[in-house]
Structure 1
Amino acid sequence: MKRLLIYIAAVFMLVPSSCSFFEPIDIANENQPNINDLATPAEFYSLLRNGYNTWYNGSIAASPTIGFANAELFQAGTPGWGSGTMWFRPRQQLFNDDTPDPVIIINFGAWYNYYGSVGSAIKMSKMFEDPNFKITLGGVDYTNRAKAHAYLIQALLYGNIALLYDKAYLFTAEHDALTFDFAANTKTYQEVMDYALTQLDRAIELIETDAIDEDPASVVAGVTFNKALLLQFANSMGARFLASNARTQAENSQVDWNRVKSYAEKGLQADFKVAYDEGWRGKVMTRDVGSNYFAFYNMNWIRISQWLLNKMAPDDPYSVYPIPVTPGSDSFKDWPEIQNSPDSRLTKYFRYENMRNWFGSDRTERPGYGTFILSQYRYWRYYDIVERGQGMVDHFLKAENDTYLAEALIRTSGDRERIAQLINNSRVTLGDLPPALAAESYEALEDKLFYERYVECDLVWPQLGFFDRRRGKDQLIPGTARHFPIPGPELKMHGQALYTFGGVGNEM
């Protein structure tokens, strides 16, 4: 891409220019397209790849993911990127105002990452309003496929924004960037998700009616979509977005579970993996390239929560949560290995390592910390890939799709034999656990379902654990913010009042 002088407040980027940290920087902007290049088919597919890159890097970035230690599937040894405001105990309000270093504000990073490509995706989709605009490569017309990708990128960006924020600025192809009314177009997370799913459904319809099978180029590292895989990916994302957007158990009961079921039935039939390539390893705003949760597991910044280990080995004395600490003694650092777990994934996905090699074990008495952070196990599932810097890491497992379908069947009083089979696809095949049975109650099946999500799925993309625990029976502890506020500088720029979440009584 051409080198240009970037103003993050440029048209379509939706970022305030008045803030001191939004200064022009002379770097290659891989996400902002040159509108003059859009008519070039090969360049158009490069821009689509940039859009997917923004979505993926934002979704695996260290910020805000490390903050979701508040869901207790993993614990943090450090409050990096301002994450401590999310998981410290007692819970506290999230900071939300001007700052000289926005990267360390937990609710800023995802916002500016995702909005960094919203305008690009809108621009690309608007190009197709011209009936003469075609994407033809090698004599093959890829126009509908390219248009579907533009809609799908919008869905991915806005879907993730909706999952994370209570409100957002909904800029669409119907708006003019120069006259956009931020206050009038501040929409709730439900409205933003509705738009994301509308764009997703538009993409699905285009793909279904398209005669083209395989894409002419890769738009996700390590992946070249054909028609079947792209449809499965889009449908699985629909199931994820719709199921995960609820903030409470009450909202979860109001989800359109028949629609979740429809998406999941057409979803992924194999694990969706992304290459751990340079440029596809997470990025926190405009810096900290490579700072992603996979690397943090390897760096020992985060460890598996004893809360989850206790679920995996409930009868083992060394899975007790929290690990007990005798005042004046550091013997807890030699806390023994768990010996009695019925789930074989304990040794497949995790590795025992005493806490004398973990800096977090010296921090239990610091303000905000506690013995709840202690763990004698590290996550080892992708360790070798991250150490080598090459290979394929999972992003969306077949098991995640299976559990959405199983949950939709539970919520709609569906076939318990089918529910059990979907749970057992991972529970028995991967965990070597006794099978879930059709004779069990829906409640018992639900417990087994969420156990599978916690062990199998929610550490692959750790934001899921937060989404699952805010909407499910294993509720977040009181005071835990259920979502993020719009970043303070945005609010001030557009004449809106500052607000925030966190602390008992102010969760959402």
Structure 2
Amino acid sequence: MRLFKTFVPFVLAGLVAFSGCQDLSVTNQNDPNRERALSQPGDIETLIQGTFRTYYYASENYEPTFALSVAADEQSSSWGNFGMQDMGSEPREPYNNDPSYGYSAVAEIPFTNSYAAISAALDGLGAIEGGLEIGDADQTARAKSFGEFVIGLAHANIAVNFDQGFIVDQVPTGQFDAENPPFEIVPYTDVWSNGALPYLNQAISTAQSASFSSIPSGWMGATEFSRDEFIAIIRMYRAHYRAAMARNPQERQNVDWQQVADDVDAGYTEMVDDVFAINDPQENWFSGWRYYGKDLVWTRADYKTIGPADESGNYDDWLNSDLSQRLPFDITTEDRRITGEGDPQSDGKYFAYAGASFFPSDRGIYHYSNYAYLNRNPGPRYSYAQGNEKWIMTPATMRLLKAEALLHLDPVANKNQVVDIINESRVQVGELPDALYTDPTGSMSDAQNPVRSDGATVWSMLKHEKRMESFGTASGLAFYDKRGWGDLVVGTPYHLPIPGAELELLREAIYTTETVGNAGKTNTTE
């Protein structure tokens, strides 16, 4: 699917399809049907209802989820599927943005599906703004708020994953002219500040001014959310994406952390069921990330995520070895999320001892790991990720995001509160010794480290908790954190380029993006 094919949608019986043809002059021949469908209240509500699912598959699909995870050294895998070998191998390579690239879906799926969600939501909002009422005023406001929410989310998904994109606030009609495209390419910062954020803000305002009772089952999985829970979810996503925007430590420090903390406080505390998950026993919300990410043949837990908890010296030896000498090892740790007590080959609460890896040795033994993420949130592992419990955000993830906000805002005044937040998971779940108020605060540049005897600081313990508690949850979370902290491996792309196929349609040069330690775009055309 090409970008501007996404921008000529038609709606029929509440379903969105996208027209297309081979030449660059695209005219939507379905406009009459589209206009009739956009005049029916029930079809408009169904149209808007389905937009979150489109966003879900733009953000939580196989692509880019697996690629971002291995690029962050969260999961480890050298299988080619989903771009894992290319994005996770060392030395890292720039992203291949050739339209013929076998794993071009890494960029194409989040890009095209995000704009498909925006396009459909805008069609629905356009009908409402044109005077169409869905049921009563509150039901209309619910649809309007939900559409604004999804438009904000989809722009945010572009902003965190791509170096640039489009701000789309109307669906163009008529012919597409490559010389005069309807939208300007702008930096990711503009996509966030002028596209994502205003729509998220407006979604909250619209919902707060209405009195609808709930977001029905089927709109976000099978769960019905109250109006207050829905507002909390918007604020949760706004906090998540605001922090995720940063490309480097300076940008991370300059995040509006007070707003992040406020959104966590005023938002997530309203969630009744604690974990925000996509639940649907009818198999309508598949998540390959939550199935194959729990399969010891497909993926393993990367030592760079679980290894810092090792107290035997094995991890340090592994990390200081050449890539060709990085043999898998057993971890000795007090962190009960990784192993059981007293036995490095026993299962932990979150991870399991999986033994020898199945990856081809000629692709690098450094991909091997003796551990896999099998034991936490196990439902998707046994249901082919088709049923309930597809976790997106957990209370621990949000608490730890607030803890980081507090450290940025005032590390002296907030230190004790941060230590208490860290200990909620560190001690109560990991069964590690308490972090202490007297432990050094450190700085954001400190490496992940939970071991006090090895010089752990509050910052390094916070990083460890975030990596343990967020593992396998929201797509890209580990990547966004490590990117902002400055912890990505040298050579890792900071973000993805506009897909090469879209650039061809726009008659723009195909490029790839800057990488860690090598700033600047690279033109990949001859």
Are the structure 2 counterparts of residues 494 and 441 from structure 1 closer, same or farther at C-alpha, using a change threshold of 3 Å?
Answer: same
Distance of aligned partners of 1:415 and 1:470 in 2 relative to their CA distance in 1, 3 Å threshold: same
1:446 to 452, 459, 465: 459
How far off its partner does 1:259 sit? 1.9
Out of 2, 9, 21, the position equivalent to 2:5 is 9
Counterpart AA for 2:64: P
Look up the equivalent residue of 1:457 and give its one-letter code. S
Distance 1:128 1:442 in 2: 52
Judged with a 3 Å threshold, the aligned counterparts in structure 2 of structure 1 residues 316 and 462 are, in CA distance, closer, same or farther, namely farther
Q: What amino acid does structure 1 have at the position aligned with 2:186?
A: K
| Separation of aligned partners in 2, 1:384 and 1:19 | 46
Contact kept in structure 1, 2:257 and 2:409, CA below 8 Å = yes
- 1:364-383 to structure 2, matched below 5 A, reads 365-366=362-363, 370-380=364-374, 381-383=376-378
1:482 aligns to 2:477 (yes or no):
no
Contact (CA 8 Å) 1:322, 1:371: kept in 2 or not? no
Tell me which of 308, 311, 321 is aligned to 1:311.
308
Residues 1:464 and 1:320: Cα distance change in structure 2 (over 3 Å)? farther
C-alpha separation in 2, matches of 1:265 and 1:51: 27
- In the TM superposition, residue 465 of structure 1 has moved relative to its aligned partner by 0.9
Deviations 1:31-76 (A, max 9, x none): xx95534454443443233211111122221112221202111111
Check conservation: 1:65, 1:293, Cα contact below 8 A.
no
1:490 Cα offset (Å): 1.2
Instruction: Specify the alignment match of 1:288 in structure 2.
Output: none
- Whether the 8 Å CA contact 1:231–1:267 is kept in 2: the answer is yes
- Higher mean displacement: 384-393 or 316-325: 316-325
- Report 1:98-137 matches (<5 A): 98-99=99-100, 104-130=104-130, 132-136=131-135
Aligned-pair CA distance for 1:178: 5.2
1:492–1:415: structure 2 CA closer, same or farther, 3 Å change rule? same
After the TM superposition, which of the residue ranges 266-275 and 179-188 deviates more from structure 2? 179-188
Displacement after TM superposition at 1:202 (Å): 0.4
| Matching residue of 2:141 | 144
Does the 8 Å contact 1:252/1:472 carry over to 2? Answer: yes
* Pairing 1:246–2:273 present: no
Structure 1 distance, partners of 2:6, 2:74, is 39
3-state secondary structure, aligned to 1:395: strand
The answer as to 2:401 corresponding to 1:388 is no
Matches within 5 A, 1:299-378: 300-315=297-312, 317=314, 321=318, 335-336=329-330, 338-346=331-339, 347-355=348-356, 358-360=357-359, 362-363=360-361, 365-366=362-363, 370-378=364-372
Per-residue Cα deviation, 1:284-338 (whole angstroms, up to 9, x for no partner)? xxxxxxx43533432621110112221233336478635989999x9x67x55x3
Q: Which residue of 2 aligns with 1:256?
A: 256
Alpha-carbon distance in structure 2 between the residues aligned to 1:263 and 1:327: 45
Query: TM-score, normalised on structure 2?
Result: 0.80
SS at the partner of 1:273?
strand
Aligned: 1:168 with 2:165: yes
Q: 2:286 aligns with which of 277, 281, 288?
A: 281
Q: CA deviation at 1:204?
A: 0.7
Name the residue aligned to 1:199.
Answer: 199
What are the superposed Cα offsets for residues 211-245 of structure 1, whole Å, 9 maximum, x if unpaired?
Answer: 22223443111221111211111111011111011
TM-score (norm 1): 0.83
Q: C-alpha separation between the residues in 1 aligned to 2:482 and 2:256?
A: 19
The answer for unaligned runs of 5 or more in structure 2 is 10-17, 27-32, 340-347, 443-456, 522-526
3-state SS of 1:168 partner: strand
Q: CA deviation at 1:89?
A: 1.6
In the alignment, is the contact (CA less than 8 A) between 1:249 and 1:471 conserved in 2? yes
* Shift in alpha-carbon separation, 1:183–1:166, aligned structure 2, 3 A: farther
1:495 to 487, 498, 507: 507
What's the counterpart of residue 417 of structure 1?
A: 416
Match of residue 479, structure 2, among 432, 443, 466: 466
Alpha-carbon contact 2:293-2:373 (below 8 Å) kept: no
- Superposed counterparts of 1:174-253, under 5 Å: 181-182=180-181, 185-194=184-193, 195-253=195-253
* 1:265 corresponding residue in structure 2: 265
Q: How many matched pairs? A: 469
SS of the residue 2:352 aligns to: strand
CA distance change for structure 1 residues 320 and 343 in 2, over 3 Å: closer, same or farther?
farther
Name the aligned partner's letter for residue 275 of structure 2: D
Mapped to 1, the partners of 2:225 and 2:502 lie a distance apart of 36
For the Cα contact (< 8 Å) 2:249–2:485, is it kept in 1?
Answer: yes
User: Offset at 1:445?
Assistant: 2.4
Determine helix, strand or coil for the equivalent of 1:486.
coil
Task: Give the aligned residue type for 1:87.
Answer: G
One-letter code of the match for 1:127? A
Gap change, CA 1:313 and 1:38, over 3 Å in 2? farther
Q: Aligned pair in 2 of structure 1 residues 424, 45: CA closer, same or farther (>3 Å)?
A: farther
Deviations 1:321-366 (A, max 9, x none): 35989999x9x67x55x353334454011111211xx321x32x33
Cα distance in 1, alignment partners of residues 354 and 320 from structure 2:
14
Q: 1:178 to 1:145 in 2, by over 3 A?
A: farther
Output the CA distance in 2 between the equivalents of 1:7 and 1:159: 17
- For structure 1, the residue ranges without an aligned partner over 5 or more in a row are 24-32, 283-290
For 1:437, the equivalent position in structure 2 comes to: 436
Question: What is the percent sequence identity of the aligned residues?
Answer: 22
Structure 2 vs 1, CA of residues 113 and 293 (structure 1 numbering), >3 Å: closer, same or farther? farther
| Structure 1 stretch displaced more, 294-303 or 191-200 | 294-303
Residue in structure 2 matched with residue 86 of structure 1 by the alignment: 87
How far apart are residue 18 of structure 1 and its match?
4.3
Distance in 1 (CA, whole Å) between partners of 2:96 and 2:103 is: 12
The offset of 1:406, in angstroms, is 1.4
Q: In 2, Cα distance between the equivalents of 1:327 and 1:215?
A: 53
Q: Give, in whole Å, the separation in 1 of the partners of 2:218 and 2:323.
A: 55
Greater RCO (CA < 8 Å, at least 6 residues apart): 1
Q: Distance in 1 between matches of 2:378 and 2:317?
A: 26
